[in-house]
Amino acid sequence: MNFGNIKSQKSKFIMLFLCIVVITAIVIGSMLAQDSDENSINVKLFFLSPDGNSYISEDRSISKYGTINDQIKIVLLELIKGPTTNLSPTIPQGTDIREVFVDAKHCAYVDFSRAITKNHIGGSTMELATVASIVNSLTANFPKDIQKVRILIDGREAQTIAGHIDITKPIYPFNFQRQFYNDL
């Protein structure tokens, strides 16, 4: 009996076994990554720049869960969480989303809790930032379904969030480029 041959065959078998394990792990990993990609979508959330002079989008990956209304809620909840970078938040902490729906005319109705008003820091710039970030985050991420946004507070129509920006009608997306160049 040649023990050198047995050791060599055993080493080859172990190497083959390890190769199979590694290849299996790679295949399973790629399948999980594909499954993860199929269950999530990338979205853009709009926040105020640190200097307050422009709006900048921040990319997030969210769950592709449920209906479009569920996905809209997830986008808004991410917006309420605030930025993960040095951008400035636009929706007051403590704000909840009571309900959302999209009508046949591509208008998203978003019903926020009263905290959006009570916890708002005020001022026309910050109120504009709140409205613009909501409207542009929704219209940018759901362009086929949402063309305008109607903001409600505690299930009711409201005049403004903090006294400056009229929210009595549906609001169309803001053209950030044009708006800031015209202001110069």
Specify whether 80 is located in the same domain as 163: yes
Q: Is the pLDDT of residue 138 over 80?
A: yes
Q: Is the pLDDT of residue 182 over 80?
A: no
Average pLDDT, rounded, for the chain: 86
Specify whether 122 is located in the same domain as 175: yes
Specify whether 61 is located in the same domain as 145: yes
Domain count, the chain: 2
Percent of the chain with pLDDT over 70: 75
Specify whether 80 is located in the same domain as 32: no
Q: pTM of the prediction? A: 0.76
* Mean pLDDT of the region 68-73: 96
* Domain range for 44: 40-183
Q: Is the pLDDT of residue 132 over 90?
A: yes
Specify whether 91 is located in the same domain as 153: yes
Span 85-110, pLDDT tens digits: 999 999 999 999 999 999 999 999 99
* Mean pLDDT of the region 37-50: 91
CA-to-CA distance for 183 and 179, rounded, in angstroms? 6
Q: Is the pLDDT of residue 14 over 70?
A: no
Q: What is the pLDDT of residue 11?
A: 65
Specify whether 45 is located in the same domain as 6: no
* Mean pLDDT of the region 19-45: 65
